[in-house]
């Protein structure tokens, strides 16, 4: 404690204030009951009672983002990590079909008998190299998470149907990706259709600054048919190529930090959250703060529904064991011990309650003005 009044200190020590005043007097300090004591005086009194002064936790409890920023690493502990990819594009241009197609052709073939549990993200393995796909609607991932300054994607695939061309949500997707400063790969979809016109797509995208390599630009265009599974391998190769250039790295040997992809309340399991580990390794038993929730990781399930004990960088994993349902885009941080996690979690929850209270008050005042 930086400072406490005599009365406050007495209360903490379960003593009468008069006794503290007396002790201070013996130590040559004249004090009244409301007098503020500095750190040295507090320590002196505590030492006299044989009580150790606990250092208060000094973590930035209101801002997990700030905690992220502090996340400086030395180069030596960094290792290559998989890219995190979001698929975006206009409605009906084939995002879901593409995600399904990639998953069915590539999800760790043979495992779990092809039955995949939906956890909002999945990983594929291409000759030993992994790619993480966010299986949430790309726009939601970008808008809610971007709005909070929490960018989690390394690469955006913009799907454009070759028979339909650039549409409003295509442009929106491009703008989101540009704002997030992530590289874009264009997947020109529905190439199996007789009415497919890829040249028109390229022409239209050029107007939005996406110029194909063949035309002297630096944007990769991959013609595909998500429905027929054609061009998917090339698309995956291009993703790996672009991410190699980006030199994505993380340190698997630190405590985990990351972002919430999805979360909901499960009748049997309580709060369930899909987390994307962005740095470090998350383990069962880790004390964790997730947004305004906290707890200990009770169980973890991977993208194919298997129980796992740990999850490294760029791995999506579903966890249970936290006391509340967090929101998509919330940050999570693992702490050394559960006590710290609880303190940070509770403080964050309090801050949120206070913020919503003062918001309510402000609204009430506004209403008052309106009535006048």
Nearest distance from C-beta of residue 92 to Mg ion, angstroms: 8
Can you name the residues that pair with 125 across neighbouring β-strands?
130
Task: Please state whether beta strands 307-308 and 184-189 pair in parallel, antiparallel, or not at all (unpaired).
Answer: unpaired
Residue 189 binds which entry of ligand GDP, Mg ion, none, CB below 5-8 Å type-dependent = ligand GDP
215 vs 61: CA distance, rounded Å? 51
Q: How many residues bind ligand GDP (CB under 6 A)?
A: 15
Selected binder of Mg ion within 5, 71, 96, 108 (CB under 5 A): 96
Residue 53 or 91 with smaller CB distance to ligand GDP: 91
34-93 binders of ligand GDP (CB under 6 A): 89, 91-93
E strands present in the chain:
3-5, 36-38, 79-80, 84-89, 121-126, 129-134, 155-161, 184-189, 220-223, 249-250, 257-266, 270-279, 282-283, 287-290, 293-301, 307-308, 310-311, 316-322, 331-334
* x-marked contacts with ligand GDP along 179-198 as a string, rule CB under 6 A: ----------xx-xx-----
Selected binder of ligand GDP within 35, 62, 71, 96 (CB under 6 A): 96
Q: How many CB atoms lie under 10 A from the CB of residue 242? A: 18
CB 156 within 8 A of CB 177: yes
Nearest distance from C-beta of residue 185 to Mg ion, angstroms: 18
170 makes contact with ligand GDP (CB under 6 A): no
CB 149 within 8 A of CB 134: no
Residue 102 or 333 with smaller CB distance to ligand GDP: 102
Segment interacting with ligand GDP, rule: CB under 6 A, options 23-31, 60-68, 78-86, 94-102: 94-102
134 vs 84: CA distance, rounded Å? 7
Per the annotation, does 193 bind a ligand?
no
Residue 157 or 301 with smaller CB distance to ligand GDP: 157
Enumerate binding residues for ligand GDP (CB under 6 A): 89, 91-97, 189-190, 192-193, 225-227
């Amino acid at each position: 404690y930086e400072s406490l009044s005599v009365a406050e200190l007495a209360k903490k020590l379960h003593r009468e204030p008069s006794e503290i005043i007396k002790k201070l007097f013996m130590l040559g300090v004249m004090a009244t009951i409301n007098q503020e004591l500095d750190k040295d005086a507090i320590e002196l009194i505590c030492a006299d009672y044989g009580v150790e002064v606990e250092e208060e936790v000094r973590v930035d409890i209101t801002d997990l983002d700030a905690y992220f920023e502090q996340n400086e690493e030395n180069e030596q502990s960094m290792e290559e990590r998989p890219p995190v990819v979001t698929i975006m594009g206009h409605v009906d241009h084939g995002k879901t079909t593409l995600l399904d197609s990639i998953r069915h052709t590539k999800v760790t073939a043979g495992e779990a008998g092809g039955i995949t549990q939906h956890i909002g993200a999945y990983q594929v393995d291409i000759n030993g190299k992994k790619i993480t796909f966010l299986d949430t609607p790309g726009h939601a991932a970008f808008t809610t998470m971007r709005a909070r300054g929490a960018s989690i994607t390394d690469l955006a695939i913009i799907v454009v149907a070759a028979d339909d061309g650039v549409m409003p949500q295509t442009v929106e997707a491009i703008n989101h990706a540009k704002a997030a400063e992530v590289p874009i790969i264009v997947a020109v979809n529905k190439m199996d259709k007789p009415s497919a016109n890829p040249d028109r797509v390229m022409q239209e995208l050029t107007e939005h600054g996406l110029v194909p390599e063949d035309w002297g630009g630096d944007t990769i265009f991959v013609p595909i048919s998500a429905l027929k599974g054609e061009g998917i391998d090339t698309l995956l190769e291009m993703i790996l190529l672009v991410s190699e250039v980006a030199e994505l790295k993380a340190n698997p040997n630190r405590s985990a930090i990351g972002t919430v992809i999805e979360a909901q309340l499960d009748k049997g399991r309580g709060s369930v959250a899909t987390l994307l580990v962005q740095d470090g390794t998350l383990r069962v038993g880790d004390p964790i703060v997730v947004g305004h929730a906290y707890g200990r990781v009770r169980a973890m399930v991977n993208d194919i529904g298997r129980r796992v004990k740990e999850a490294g960088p760029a791995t999506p994993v579903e966890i249970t064991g936290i006391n509340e349902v967090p929101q998509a885009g919330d940050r999570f941080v693992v702490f050394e011990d559960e006590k710290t996690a609880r303190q940070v979690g509770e403080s964050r929850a309090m801050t949120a309650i206070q913020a919503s209270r003062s918001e309510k008050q402000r609204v009430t005042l506004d209403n008052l003005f309106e009535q006048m």
